Every structure is written in structure tokens, then in C-alpha cells.
Chain A
């Protein structure tokens, strides 16, 4: 793995829009896609004399998330004004959290089901609750130099989750984002829709270059913005690592010799490009917002939140593996589909008492059909209990897997039960003495095949299996083969 002459050092900042009906400090709707500037009020557009009041639900969702990512929750937290001028920031400051964030020092464990990197805990520096800015719309009309500003999004609650620089490859970064998003979905705290901007990712990356004398030289840190998918994050990081290595070889510049740079990812050209610096914008002159009151969270409240998190992805994977004997890869596939799929699997595994088989049916049949049709498992016409009847019939030898899959497809298409379709198709278990008689009869009529098999050409028995299947479609090919070989040996 470590063929490269450097380590990549990656930290991620994720902004998550919390699933509230109203904004963080006023009661304007947060609904996506409203006509521009129809969801604003004196508070969120910063009119003098207006008074922000904290959204209880937003704080609750932020707290729930912070606890789920193993953060310490300080008893006391407050909000601060971060001052800068930008047209999408009507107050001239953003209400954010500076020195006393609502949570800090957490972690999220990541692993790769295919084992491409060792499982590790990615540290979380802090997660704090802040308000979003508005949006600049680009004017398509030629000759007009103005930007158009829509302030509907202004004041929407965001949780900013800042990781430690603990990731060492673009793949680890993607795994962190995938795990975080899954967790947020299980917690039901955000829609996590990158297209609608409810989940945004910025990355900080630099290299530790091995100089061949046992020392590592750090390159300047670059912040990458404008990445619109996890795939884009992975690609941008890979590109940026290579670029920094080349720049270092050319210039020899190390961390501290140039200021931190911001670069934007261009998904079309697949490159990062330097962005213009906001002049001295790093001087935000934070101070406590005098309009907002601090929030006290007691240890008992944190405990209550912790006890109500429900079973989260990491715990669920372990439970599915230990209770139902499936592989980490399989548990990851099922858990990644979300709670309803997990419930479907558990019902099926319990009813059939065969976790491995249940996992195969869910992945190879149920998820395959859902992928093809784009439906949700909650609307799937074959319920777990109904599928269990079919899988049990397979386990009991009433039909083989390939016929069972035909029955399953009929169940999906018609919504009928397994029993009804098996009856329609005349599927029933072949009595073992009848099966033996059938095999004996076919063998008696084919002395050549018997002779071939006796001479060591075992595959010759395949012709008998075919004949048996034509005589009675309910026979199991495996059973016919075994019985025939046994009978021939006795001959």
C-alpha cells in the first residue's frame, strides 16, 4: 500500500442541515425550493431591534447527533457572532459558536468491508450549531453585472462537524463521510441531500513527505471546496495529493512558508483551482451574541439522549454478524440500506432460522428487484413473513433454489403468496421412494450411461438428471444425481 513517498493527511468539515420545520432563530419555514425571498422575516434578514430565539428542536437534533458521534457535551454552551461582510449574510455576522461549542472531542469508527484499510477511529474535534447564509443566484441575463440574492436559506440550522486530520487516504475520507451520513440517516436528524445542500463537505489536506532520512516534511495545508458528491471528494483529494507532491518537488515549499490556500474542485475538468482570497477575512472578531441566552445541558439530559438513540449502524452490524452468522461484508450491505431493510432481514432470518440464506435472499433477490424498480422496501409487495414461507420450503426440500426464484418473481409480479404460486405451478415435494423409483426406471433404460459412470465418467449422469426433470419438474437435480450415483454403485 505505502508505495507513495508521502502520507496524505486529511481532515473534513461537514455541514449538515438539521431536519427542522423552522429556522434556527426565527419561525420562518425551512422548506426547500420556495420562491426566492418568501421565507424571511426581520430576525433572519437582520432588521434592527429583532430578537433571535433558539429553536428547541434544532438544539435537540444537534445534541442527539453530538452524543451519537461520541462527543463530550459541556454543561455550558453559548453562541457568538462571527463578523464578515458578504452579500448573502444580511446581518454582517453569522451566529455561530466559537470558544464554547456545544460538543467536542468525539470519534467515529470507520472500516472497509473489503479490508482495504485497517478499521480506525477518526477523531471529531467539535460539532457546533450555527446558522446558514443565503444564496447568490447567478443572473443569466447577459450584460447585467449584478448578483441576485435569495435569503430564504438564511438562518437555517446547520451542525458543523469538524474532524481531526486523522484520515490517510481518499478512500478513508469517503468511508468517514459514508459512515457519518448513514449515522445521520439512522438518527433521522437530516435529509443529507447533497444536491439540495443539506450536506456539504470541505476538506483540509496536505502531505507528509518522507525525505529518505527518516523525517517527514509537511506541505502547506489546502482547503478544498465545491465538492458535490462523496465521489467528488475522493477524486478531489486524490488529485490534490498528486498536485501538492508535484508543487513540492518544484518549489520545495513547506507548511508555514505560504498561507493556507483555498481551492475549488471542478468536477468537469477534474482539477482543483485556486480561489481568490477574501482579504483578511480570517479576522472574524468573534464576540458572544448578547441577544441569545446560553444553554445549560445537564449530565442527566445527556444520558437521556444517549438512552434514546436507538440501535446505530455500528452496533447493528455487530448484532447481525453475531446473531445471524453473516459476514461483515453482508451485514454492511444490509445495514447500509437503512433500518427498514434491517428489519426485513431480521424478520426473515428469525422466521427461517437461517441467517446466511436470509442474507442471500435479501441481497440477491429483494435488493436486486428494488434496484431495478427504484422502489422502497416498505412498499415491496413481498413482505418478509411471506418470503419466509418460500425460503422455508427451499430449506425443507420442497423446491430447489432456481424454481424458488421463479416463484419469487411471480410473487413480486402478482402479489400472491408463495403457497398459492407453488400450488398453481404444481410444485410439491417429491416423495423420496417415488424419486428413487423414477431414478431406477431411467437408469434401467440407459445401460450406456450406467456403463460410462462405472468407467469413471461421473458427469454422464447429467443426462439422467435432465430426463428426470422432464418427467417431473418438481424433482431436485442434486437429489436425482446423488440417488443415481448411489444406485449405480450398488449395481
Chain B
């Protein structure tokens, strides 16, 4: 497949990235190259190979329902670009 500029516009919208026209110009062929690189996998013959749902051969890994200490609130909020005493602050959520 070949990525179009429209595809990249859509992906950047979904990722909430605002790309300039120049950036779209540069990134469309770059992303296209990445996709083509991965497409090499299509050359493999997978007839008769069971589809894999997970990279590891592990199953049924559980933890017990026992509470453990959470992060201190200040630590939890420490990476936030904007915060107050209790909460993360974000630009007003639309539509609610």
C-alpha cells in the first residue's frame, strides 16, 4: 500500500498532533517508507501457521486482589504540565 497525505492528516488528527503543511510534506514519504518496510513481512508464507494473539507463550498470569500502597499524590501529579493541589488541569473538555 501507499500512504497518501490524507492518511497522514487523519493519523495526526487521531494522535492530536497539529502538523504544518511542510511537516505533512516531509512525513508522508517517511511514514510510507516505514509501512513499506513492515510490508516485507507479507513475503513470508504463513499458510498453515496458526495466527498468534500474543508474542509470549504465557497464559493466565494473575495477581491477587490485595491492595498495595498507591503513589503519593504530589508524586503522581509531579509530571503534569498544569495542576492544582488535588488534580491535573487540562483545557476544558468539550461537549460535557
Contact = CB atoms under 8 A, between A and B. Distances in A.
Nearest to B10: A280
Given A37-B76, A279-B13, A150 B87 contact: yes
Contact of B62 (A38, A59, A83): A59
B58 interface: yes
20 contacts: A21-B65, A22-B66, A36-B73, A39-B70, A40-B70, A45-B76, A53-B63, A55-B63, A56-B65, A87-B91, A87-B93, A146-B89, A147-B91, A148-B88, A148-B89, A149-B88, A151-B88, A279-B13, A280-B10, A290-B54
Contacts of A278: 95
B55 A290 contact: yes
Contacts of B91: 87, 145-147
A444 interface: no
A294 B90 contact: no
Contact of A53 (B61, B76, B82): B61
B83 to A, nearest CB: 9
B53 interface: yes
Contacts of B21: none
A414 interface: no
A465 interface: no
Interface in B13-32: 13-16
Interface residues of A, number: 53
A295 interface: yes
A36 B64 CA distance: 25
Given A147-B90, A151-B76, A278-B95, 20 more contacts: A21-B67, A22-B66, A37-B73, A40-B70, A40-B71, A40-B76, A41-B70, A42-B71, A53-B63, A54-B61, A55-B62, A57-B65, A78-B53, A78-B54, A100-B53, A136-B96, A280-B14, A288-B53, A292-B61, A293-B58
A111 to B, nearest CB: 36
Nearest to B65: A57
B11 to A, nearest CB: 9
Contact of A36 (B13, B15, B87, B94): B87
B30 to A, nearest CB: 19
B89 A147 contact: yes
A83 B14 contact: yes
B88 A37 contact: yes
Interface residues of B, number: 38
A120 to B, nearest CB: 36
Interface in B37-96: 53-56, 58-68, 70-71, 73, 76-77, 82, 84, 86-96
Interface stretch (A27-35, A348-356, A430-438): A27-35
Interface in A134-153: 136-137, 145-151
B77 A37 contact: yes
3 A-B pairs closest in CB distance: A57-B65, A56-B62, A148-B87
A259 to B, nearest CB: 16
Given A29-B70, A294-B53, A145 B88 contact: no
A276 interface: yes
Contacts of B56: 293
Nearest to B88: A149
A275 interface: yes
A199 B72 CA distance: 29
Contact of A38 (B59, B64, B70, B84): B70
A448 interface: no
Contacts of B76: 37, 40-41, 45, 151
Contacts of B71: 40-42, 45
B95 to A, nearest CB: 4
A53 B90 contact: no
Interface in A287-314: 288, 290, 292-296
